[in-house]
């Protein structure tokens, strides 16, 4: 047996013992193998794809300490709580600790009592800390949320630029592992270059997550939708993202008034208020949290069943990170984006308010337009997302997103498309969506008349439609590649080669144009929810709820979030299997030997007390 095979077998044993999983996912296996082989490694994996396992298992096998660079205090605490619950020696150092506590943890690392130590990137810039780390045997530096090193990423943090100098300052260079959930090819190149990865193995394990049903809804009454959805799913955990503090506060008050256990999170709250709100959400004391994008990075809560975006995010990277916080346990979940044209104005305002150089601002506008295109596309949303990140994939619809489940008939829009393209051409491709829509409507507004556009042959060519409807059609055409919107605060429409084919009569434009109703999504009847009902047909919901009560009692006793004991997917499998012996319990995914010894007995006692008879009636 080769050394490599022996290492992988040992890694799998540790995975079963500590995490309760019989084997790695394919992407995890390749990354773990790369790190155990001593190679610098970059892993681009979807949120919920098991990134942390990829460096935690090697940390148990490598001889020294693994130093984990992590961006948020809440993320560190979650990770260390989960590791400690599994019996793995880990600690964090951050600003919540006293000087005495920091020194105690550094001494523990020097004694070899720790296998993983989590620190913020800012800590690497401090001289005394670098000196202390130089005295340790560091085998690996794992950089979480590594996209933060790139100014072209969506969460650029200058402190991440200190990682490479820190690594070079160590007496012996450790393996460097970098992980992120989202990265365009441009950001991937930045991570390799700015982290000084040496001949790295790069693994893109696929952003596609089959358990997430993605929806974009346009033209809805957003507040009404959120209230109906939250009420219909009051038994589930969810996150509602809004762009402004004002919207967060308004939605929070409305939900509370409706009797829904809700919390809020934004930068206008005190540190203590935010911490209390986040903890209440993690511990299931509240079911839904309304938040700005200040909330969520690295939150490991596994049982979030839905993420609603009340406002369109500023770019695709932010959207996929935030939406990806749903269904981390692999259970079917909903990601719903409520879009309106006002969202574009809000995001442009935020870009203008943010002091940054012209190149970065230019890039922000480009990314915003790509986000708008996503909101208007009639293509499969999952495929559109994968294309954005440059990921190769089969040209096959996902079958569960709002585009794939849209059952309306295709409408021949060729004549309208020709009118729009012809109008843009006659306006010399110098104006934006609203101005073109005004001309096509036949508006008598001041600018239309000032430029003499009322003399164009296309003036009033779509007078039977409202300007809003015409703007919607133009934006859909842009998202489908017939038109391009220039970058900047005031984008200008440009014709693309596809539009020329339409004008020549060589191509038809078939689209589903009216806004899709939200009723079936709000009531949980989308493709994803149907799949959920089918896949969970064997689950006894009464037993599942009783198991959750046992879990909650244990979590309260241990002072950790419930999902750290066992996640929802594990409890659902238990409710199907009804284990009667230790071996049967250990065969449930997510029940490792360490966790079984620590938490398994109350669950096993429950099943032994009930026996199998009580479940027979559910399946007759």
| Beta-ladder partners of 213 | 334
Residue 483 three-state SS = strand
Q: Which fold has domain 536-619?
A: DNA polymerase; domain 1 (1.10.150)
Strands 116-119 and 65-69 turn out to be parallel
Helices assigned H by DSSP within 443-592:
446-450, 467-479, 497-503, 519-522, 527-535, 541-558, 562-565, 568-577, 582-586
| Beta-ladder partners of 455 | none
CATH number of the domain located at residue range(s) 212-388 in this protein:
3.40.50.300
Give the pLDDT of residue 282: 85
Check if the beta carbon of residue 239 is closer than 8 Å to that of residue 214.
no
Give the pLDDT of residue 321: 84
Shortest CA distance to 24 belongs to which of 2, 55, 1?
Answer: 55
At 484-515, the pLDDT tens digits run 888 777 889 999 998 999 999 998 888 775 54
Q: Which fold has domain 411-511?
A: Arc Repressor Mutant, subunit A (1.10.10)
Give the pLDDT of residue 517: 47
Check if the beta carbon of residue 367 is closer than 8 Å to that of residue 389.
no
Shortest CA distance to 89 belongs to which of 50, 46, 118?
Answer: 118
User: What's the whole-number average pLDDT of the chain?
Assistant: 87
CATH of 3-204, one of 3.50.50.60, 3.40.50.300, 3.90.1150.10, 3.30.360.10: 3.40.50.300
Find tokens 């990265």 and name the residue.
Answer: 183
Give the pLDDT of residue 157: 86
CA–CA separation, 599 vs 610, rounded Å?
Answer: 19
Extents of the domains making up the chain = 3-204, 212-388, 411-511, 536-619
Can you say how many angstroms the Cα of residue 273 is from the centroid of all Cα atoms in its chain? Answer: 24
- pTM of the full predicted structure? 0.72
CA–CA separation, 226 vs 232, rounded Å?
Answer: 10
Would you say the CATH fold of 212-388 matches that of 3-204? yes
Check if the beta carbon of residue 603 is closer than 8 Å to that of residue 543.
no
At 42-75, the pLDDT tens digits run 999 887 778 899 999 999 999 999 999 998 777 7
H or E element at residue 218: strand 212-218
Residue ranges of the chain with pLDDT lower than 70? 1, 153-154, 294, 296-299, 513-539, 611-620
Give the pLDDT of residue 513: 54
Find tokens 């200190």 and name the residue.
Answer: 162
Shortest CA distance to 369 belongs to which of 390, 393, 351, 392?
Answer: 351
Give the pLDDT of residue 299: 65
Strands 116-119 and 175-180 turn out to be unpaired
Query: Radius of gyration over alpha carbons of the chain, in Å?
Result: 26
Check if the beta carbon of residue 362 is closer than 8 Å to that of residue 487.
yes
Which residues have a Cβ under 8 Å from the Cβ of 442 and sit 6 or more positions away? 454, 459, 460, 463
CA–CA separation, 157 vs 155, rounded Å?
Answer: 6
CA–CA separation, 44 vs 48, rounded Å?
Answer: 12
CA–CA separation, 255 vs 138, rounded Å?
Answer: 48
Strands 288-291 and 116-119 turn out to be unpaired
Can you say how many angstroms the Cα of residue 247 is from the centroid of all Cα atoms in its chain? Answer: 21
Give the pLDDT of residue 528: 43
Find tokens 């990865």 and name the residue.
Answer: 197
């Amino acid at each position: 047996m080769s050394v490599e095979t022996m290492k992988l077998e040992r890694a799998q044993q540790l995975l079963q013992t500590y995490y309760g999983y019989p084997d790695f996912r394919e992407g995890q296996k390749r990354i773990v193998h790369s790190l155990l082989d001593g190679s610098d490694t970059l892993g681009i994996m979807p949120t919920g794809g098991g990134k942390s396992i990829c460096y935690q298992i090697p940390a148990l096998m490598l001889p020294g300490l693994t130093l984990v660079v992590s961006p948020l205090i809440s993320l560190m605490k979650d990770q260390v709580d989960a590791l400690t619950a599994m019996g793995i020696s880990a600690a964090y150092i951050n600003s919540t600790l006293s000087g005495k506590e920091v020194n105690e943890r550094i001494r523990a690392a020097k004694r070899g009592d720790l296998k993983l130590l989590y620190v913020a990137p800012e800590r690497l810039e401090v001289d005394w800390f670098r000196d202390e780390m130089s005295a340790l045997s560091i085998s690996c530096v794992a950089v979480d949320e590594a996209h933060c090193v790139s100014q072209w990423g969506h969460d650029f943090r200058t402190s991440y630029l200190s990682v490479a100098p820190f690594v070079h300052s160590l007496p012996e260079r450790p393996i460097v592992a970098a992980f992120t959930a989202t990265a365009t090819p441009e950001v991937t190149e930045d991570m390799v270059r700015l982290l000084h990865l040496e001949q790295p193995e790069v693994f893109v394990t696929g952003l596609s997550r089959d358990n997430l049903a993605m929806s974009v809804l346009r033209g809805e009454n957003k507040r009404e939708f959120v209230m109906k959805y939250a009420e219909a799913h009051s038994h589930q955990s969810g996150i509602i993202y809004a762009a402004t503090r004002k919207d967060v506060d308004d939605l929070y008050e409305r939900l509370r008034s409706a009797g829904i256990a809700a919390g809020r999170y934004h930068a206008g709250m005190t540190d203590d208020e935010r911490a209390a709100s986040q903890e209440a959400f993690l511990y299931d004391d509240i079911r839904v949290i309304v938040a700005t994008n200040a909330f969520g990075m690295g939150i490991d809560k596994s049982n979030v069943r839905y993420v609603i975006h009340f406002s369109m995010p500023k770019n695709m990277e932010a959207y996929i990170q935030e939406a990806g916080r749903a269904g981390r346990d692999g259970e079917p979940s909903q990601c719903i984006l409520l879009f309106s044209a006002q969202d574009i104005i809000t995001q442009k305002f935020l870009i203008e308010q943010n002091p940054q150089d012209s190149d970065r601002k230019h890039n922000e506008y480009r990314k915003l337009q790509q986000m708008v295109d996503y909101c208007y596309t009639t293509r499969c949303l999952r495929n559109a997302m994968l294309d954005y990140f440059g990921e190769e994939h089969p040209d096959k619809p996902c079958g569960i997103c709002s585009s794939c489940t849209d059952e309306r008939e295709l409408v021949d829009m060729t004549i309208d498309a020709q009118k729009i393209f012809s109008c843009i051409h006659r306006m010399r491709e110098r104006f934006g969506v609203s101005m073109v829509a005004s001309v096509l409507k036949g508006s008598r507004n001041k600018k239309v008349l000032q430029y003499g556009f009322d003399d164009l042959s296309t003036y009033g060519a779509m007078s039977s439609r409202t300007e809003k409807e015409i703007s919607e059609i133009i934006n859909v055409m842009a998202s489908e590649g017939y038109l391009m919107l220039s970058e900047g605060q005031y984008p200008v429409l440009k014709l693309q080669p596809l539009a020329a084919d339409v004008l020549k009569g060589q191509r038809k434009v078939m689209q589903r144009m009216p806004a899709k109703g939200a009723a079936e999504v709000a009531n949980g009847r989308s493709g994803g929810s149907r799949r959920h009902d089918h896949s969970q047909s064997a689950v006894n919901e009464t037993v599942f709820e009783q198991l959750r009560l046992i879990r909650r009692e244990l979590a309260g006793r241990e002072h950790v979030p419930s999902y750290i004991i066992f996640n929802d997917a594990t409890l659902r499998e238990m409710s199907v299997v009804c284990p009667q012996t230790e071996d049967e319990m250990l065969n449930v995914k997510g029940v490792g030997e360490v966790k079984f010894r620590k938490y398994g007995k109350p669950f096993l006692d429950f099943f032994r007390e009930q026996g199998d008879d009580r479940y027979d009636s559910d399946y007759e």
